[in-house]
Amino acid sequence: MCSRFRQFTPRSKRQPIGAPSLRLLFALLACLVVATACHRSSATVLGKAPRGTPRTILSVRAGDTPPQVTIGGVMIEKCPVAGCWFRLQDPTGTIKVDTKSAGFVVVDVPLQSQVIVAGKVVAEGSDVVLEATGLRY
């Protein structure tokens, strides 16, 4: 018989998948399940999740934003005792963010973290402060 033509082997006489192949398949499946189960979202939200397009601190100080605003930047300083306020910096400036009225603190948020914060712009003397409603880091 010519080597190009193979004899048909009925399904009942074919050999089953070997045990090493099954072990490998099971191990790959287990790794996939563990990898998807252990994946944790990288964003943590405190208070209400900030929404909207982040504005610059310069535009907030200039009054070019609505009273409710979202700002993005780096946390450069925070209340050392209770974590009830922090200073946020972006390329255009720095602003104090007060978290007391929002009901959350930033004690567990590391300094130099990239954060997005939403809140209400208020005047505190001659300075502008953001009363936070929510934060994402």
pLDDT, tens only, 22-47: 777 777 777 666 666 555 557 899 99
Residue identified by tokens 């009363």 is 131
Domain CATH for 92: 2.40.50.200
Give the global pTM: 0.68
| pLDDT, tens digit, 9 for 90 and up, residues 99-109 | 999 999 999 99
* Weakly modelled stretches of the chain, pLDDT under 70: 1-20, 31-41
- What is the domain extent for residue 49? 45-136
Query: How many domains, in total, are found in the chain?
Result: 1
Strand, helix or coil at 116?
A: strand
Look at residue 64 and tell me if it is in a domain: yes
Query: How far is residue 58's CA from residue 50's CA, in Å, rounded to a whole number?
Result: 19
Q: Which two tokens stand for residue 72?
A: 């993005």
Query: How far is residue 2's CA from residue 57's CA, in Å, rounded to a whole number?
Result: 81
The confidence score (pLDDT) of residue 1 equals 53
